[in-house]
Chain A
Amino acid sequence: EDKVVQSPLSLVVHEGDTVTLNCSYEVTNFRSLLWYKQEKKAPTFLFMLTSSGIEKKSGRLSSILDKKELFSILNITATQTGDSAVYLCAVGSLTASGSRLTFGEGTQLTVNP
């Protein structure tokens, strides 16, 4: 059974801190790994990673994938209160019944002023 595990489940930091969120996975027929940010409502897409060792960057957020060790990290530097959200990791795979995304349970990040 495909599995995606995120850690920590919850994190509280102060503005300006740097945080690292972790995502490990066990899936067959891996195709991609995605990060989402979820505030009150719908998840919004951040990054998609398909190759090991290539960093994706968007402003203060960056992410990298290690396909050998089966994990990814999401870094947020100089955190702001607007970064407070649940960060979801999802892994795309191809199964006998079709393609699917398996989600982790998320990391709740709280950034205090």
Chain B
Amino acid sequence: NAGVTQTPKFRVLKTGQSMTLLCAQDMNHEYMYWYRQDPGMGLRLIHYSVGEGTTAKGEVPDGYNVSRLKKQNFLLGLESAAPSQTSVYFCASSERGLAERPDTQYFGPGTRLTVL
């Protein structure tokens, strides 16, 4: 089992460029999440999905879009990158919902994104 994997590990963008971050999990989890982690801010939820074909907004969704066309993949898109989106992005998946079993949430290794 690879668990949760993220691609790419690092990326540098110029303001206005677009990119897609890919998250994949092989644990057959229904729930998937995208977080960002900034110094002094903890992890904040961007978007999440409760199953294939579903997405929902989290705490800081502006400037991002997501898609969950396949159960094992959750894509995070930046259509027009801004310096404020410089951050470390973590994907996670869980077997059950966060209200029921948040301890089943597993995190990917992270993607460090810099927007110049």
Contacts and interface: CB of A to CB of B under 8 A. Distances in A.
A binds B: yes
Interface of A: 4, 31-32, 34, 41-45, 48, 88, 90, 92-94, 97-101, 103-106
B45 interface: yes
Given A41-B109, A97-B56, A99-B97, A106 B102 contact: no
A99 B98 contact: yes
Given A42-B90, A42-B110, A101 B102 contact: yes
B50 to A, nearest CB: 8
Contacts of A92: 98-99, 102
Interface in B1-44: 4, 40-44
Contacts of B45: 100-101
Contacts, number: 63
Contacts of B41: 105
Interface in B65-116: 90, 97-100, 102-103, 105-110
A104 B42 contact: yes
A99 B40 CA distance: 23
B56 A98 contact: yes
A36 to B, nearest CB: 8
A88 B107 CA distance: 13
B51 interface: no
B90 A103 contact: no
Contacts of A44: 107
Contacts of B58: 100
A43 B98 contact: no
Contacts of A42: 4, 90, 106-110
Contacts of A106: 42
A32 B42 contact: no
B18 to A, nearest CB: 25
B62 interface: no
Contacts of A101: 43, 45, 98, 102, 105
Nearest to A43: B107
Nearest to A1: B59
Given A88-B43, A100-B59, A32 B107 contact: no
